[in-house]
Structure 1
Amino acid sequence: MQIDVEALTVEIAGARPVEEATLRAGSGQVVGLVGPNGSGKSTLLRCVYRALRPSAGAVRVGGEDLRAMTVRESARRLAALPQEAAAEFDFTVAEIVAMGRLPHQGPMARTTEEDRRTCEGALEGVGAGHLADRGFLTLSGGEKQRVLIARALAQQPQVLVLDEPTNHLDIAQQLEVLALVRGSGLTVLTALHDLNLAALHCDLLHVIDGGRIVASGAPHDVLTPVLLAEVFGVRAHRVPHPETGAVQLLFDRLPSA
């Protein structure tokens, strides 16, 4: 299912951390949002998953305004994994994943056999079925991310929004998590810090700087030395990945003026 962000603007205390941002993630695409720290990536995504109300603009899922839906309706279409998505209490993994079924249950509904099968399938799908009885707080960073992705998949959304899903993970865990996301078949909108990971795993990239989308397109077309110098303040050397051919980047400091 397609998701559209249309002329989104956020105004906070007179500042505009996001201004007239427009982007699209087509059905089944993995679309990355990249930019320097403080550029507005997380603020934009918080509007997409309804943690923040924009001052102007709209987010549409399948052509329908997300804000016109009830929270339950929107949660059936879109699941999110924010940066701060951590459990404060030591629920078991099975209990964490079961939370993904709440949008499909009534206020007094009990967990059904279908709910249990869906949760078990989501855990197995991310390779974490053996963790079901473990306490969430006992897991490694990579295991926690797998479980949180399983919770999102148990929600059975059509769109998945991820804010820095590889943050604080080692490189093997980063690759595993992004492979899981890529293999989900969902429409994915994700903010990523690592430009090389973004180039490897995303179909399209949107570059945000100062709250505005300044470039959009395929990674090879967007991640140019000129743009990287202007937006990130670095000199970039482009090389092809030896197996996939995807553009990869080597960085230097810009020469002094």
Structure 2
Amino acid sequence: MRIELTGVSVEVAGRRLVHDVTLRAGSGRMVGVVGPNGSGKSTLLRCVYRALRPATGTVRLDGADLHAMDAREGARLLAALPQEAGTEFDFTVAEVVAMGRLPHQRGAGRASAEDTARCARALARVGAGHLAGRGFLGLSGGEKQRVLIARALAQDPRVLVLDEPTNHLDIAQQLEVLALVRAGDTAPDAADGDGRAGERGDRLTVLTALHDLNLAARYCDELYVLAHGRIAAAGPPHDVLTPELLAEVFGVRAHRVRHPETGAVQLLFDRLAAPAADS
């Protein structure tokens, strides 16, 4: 399922934070939004997962206006992991992940055996199956993040929107989570134990904001660089992450190298030299 933003501007408290953004993530693609702090990444994604409504422009899933959809219909298609995601009540991990199944249940119906199985598989996919009986509030930051990603996967979406999904994760977990969503399909049971195919085998479309440019370069098919709420550059990571752009947008001097195994562009950073003082 493709997601398209056309001419999207976002205002918060009367201030325009995102200006006329046009962005496209093709079906099964992983697209990253990068930029310095305050560039509008989270604001833009909040508009995509309907926490904010655009002041102008549209957000469409396969051509259908997302903001015109019924909330339940939209939640069946798109799941999100916001930066501030969490819960103030001490639900068990299993209960938190089960919340991802609510859009698929009618009324206040109980979780079915299928729902329970999907939740268990989602936890297993993020390496958190052993946490199912634990209280969510007692988990470490990294454990909480993995559980929330499992909740999003259990929702069985076609599009996944992630705002800084590697927060609180150690290096190994960062690589595991991004590899999971990069390669993931939209059906948690696409490879059931009996070998049968799942309901859908098409890959997730992923839109994610990332701070780490090396992770973005390694896992994303395309990048959109935001600066002051506007698109400064867009395209494949190798074309976008140039020393000139990184100096202009991030204020750093970058040295590009190739990852020895994947061939992806990787970056080494130095501070930009301070301008010489006038004599």
Length-normalised TM-score, structure 1: 0.96
Q: Which amino acid in 1 is paired with 2:164?
A: E
Unaligned runs of 5+ in 2: 186-203
Q: Which amino acid in 2 is paired with 1:198?
A: A
Residue aligning to 1:63: 63
| Cα pair 1:145 1:177 within 8 Å, conserved | no
Question: Residues 5-45 of structure 1, C-alpha deviation per residue, up to 9 Å, x if partnerless?
Answer: 11100123443110000101111111100001000000000
Equivalent residue runs for 1:117-196 within 5 Å: 117-185=117-185, 186-196=204-214
1:209 has 2:222 as partner: no
| Cα pair 1:33 1:208 within 8 Å, conserved | yes
Instruction: Give the match's secondary structure for 2:206.
Output: strand
Question: Residues 199-233 of structure 1, C-alpha deviation per residue, up to 9 Å, x if partnerless?
Answer: 11111100000101111111000000010011011
**Aligned counterpart for 2:254 among listed residues 228, 236, 251:** 236
Bigger Rg, structure 1 or 2:
2
| Cα pair 2:2 2:205 within 8 Å, conserved | yes
Instruction: Give the match's secondary structure for 2:6.
Output: strand
Instruction: Give the match's secondary structure for 2:218.
Output: helix
Cα distance, 1:121 vs structure 2: 1.8
Cα distance, 1:67 vs structure 2: 1.0
Cα distance, 1:122 vs structure 2: 1.4
Identity percentage over the alignment?
74
Cα distance, 1:177 vs structure 2: 1.8
**Aligned counterpart for 1:245 among listed residues 263, 272, 275:** 263
Cα distance, 1:111 vs structure 2: 1.3
Residue aligning to 2:216: 198
Q: Measure, in 1, the Cα distance between the counterparts of 2:132 and 2:168.
A: 23
Q: Measure, in 1, the Cα distance between the counterparts of 2:46 and 2:56.
A: 14
Residue aligning to 1:25: 25
Cα distance, 1:256 vs structure 2: 2.0
Q: How many residues align?
A: 257
Q: Which amino acid in 2 is paired with 1:97?
A: V
| Cα pair 1:204 1:216 within 8 Å, conserved | yes
| Cα pair 1:35 1:193 within 8 Å, conserved | yes
Length-normalised TM-score, structure 2: 0.89
Q: Measure, in 2, the Cα distance between the counterparts of 1:80 and 1:9.
A: 20
Q: Measure, in 2, the Cα distance between the counterparts of 1:86 and 1:12.
A: 22
Unaligned runs of 5+ in 1: none
Q: Measure, in 1, the Cα distance between the counterparts of 2:11 and 2:50.
A: 15
Q: Which amino acid in 2 is paired with 1:246?
A: A
